[in-house]
Structure 1
Amino acid sequence: MAAANVTEQYGPRETMEYDVVIVGGGPAGLAAAIRLKQRAAEEGADVSVCVLEKGAEPGGHILSGAVMDPRALTELIPDWKERGAPLNVPVTEDRFLFLTATAARAVPGWALPENFKNHGNYVISLANVTRWLGQQAETLGVEIFPGFPAAEVLYHDDGAVKGVATGNMGIGKDGRANRQFPARHGAACEVHPIVRRSARSLGASAFGPVRAA
């Protein structure tokens, strides 16, 4: 069955509308979603936020470890320790070495810039931290759609972004329906005034509604 006939058989793709659609459920996307919901609550506004994540769960595609400076997390979620954030291994020692063919020479701490010093930082699994951020976002009412990669940006006639289209599910490379029923989901957003003000403060001048189908 040709891809064009999938719509004829199963009907038009469903559209879901949100005030804000965030593509990517990594640390940055989830932090943005959390802060949007916090700001909305502060102003007594009802702002719907969804996150589209291609992985099976937030953090599913993040494999690396990391050394994390917790200052940004403290600004976002001040009580992260009480909430059980997986920052459990504080840095106790770090050294910066110049390696030659035959030796390793340590650089004294006073000679290093501040961003090379890890006192107060934590050794983490970034996947676990991302998964935890996803849980915090959902607690605030953010809707996360794992397994839905954004495949296309959709535009208004005037060029403003109106949304994103998610990838077809249940359709093989040859355009034929496979054994899975095609998923007919998407997301759309109208930009809330709070978001407009935040965007303008960052220099963005034109926003239109965002739609993902």
Structure 2
Amino acid sequence: MRDMKELKYAFGQADDDFVNNVYHTLTGMQSNKDGKPVKKIYFRLAAVIAIVCILSAGTALAFTNTWGILDFLSGRRTDVKVLPEASAIVQKEVPQEGNKTDIAAFTVREAVYDGQSVYIVLDVKPSSPDYLLLGPDAYPSDHIANMGPIFSGETGTIADYARENHKVMFQTSVGISGANCSIAYLLEEDGTLVYMLDGRYEGDSTAPDVEFKCVAVPFVIENGKYTRDMDSR
């Protein structure tokens, strides 16, 4: 396994513009902690993973239909190069358990850990094609274009989209127990809501168990307005 000194020479130094882009991506959204949690589940990530990746400015990432850690960090910019060494340290087969509710399945897609900070991409896949999953700070009145690149250029609200496509809206939230996390998310074409979590996590080994709190709350109409049904079980 390479140590941090070797990785420094392998990846080089990112320019200031790229570093700023990374921090803006990771710190743009925070999880919503208001209200009583509903549909709460926990699962543990057996994180047998390597060390945090370092990105350098250059050429493009290969475009795929699904987003991973390197995609979130780069924003899929056309002037960002990720060397093979960076891709190799991202764990894509993560042992996990207890990750389903009757609304959605919460599954870790990718993870990287350096002993102090953890980067995790997590899928929230609806149990029904009739469910539309929203992020922790998203509401039906928000613009549908905020839901991710697949809605780029679209007009109208999330509620408009849900109504036109006969979908029930759920607000979701994911957090790492015992850690403060930055959160970013987007919706993929198959209805999967993909989270990117980044935060400091100091376990007692290089392969810690990481516990998540996962919440899904339905939106209902009360007095002509959408509100979260916090009494739903």
Structure with more of its chain in helix, by fraction: 1
Q: Which one has more relative contact order, counting CA pairs under 8 Å at least 6 apart?
A: 1
Higher gyration radius (CA): 1
Structure with more of its chain in strand, by fraction: 2
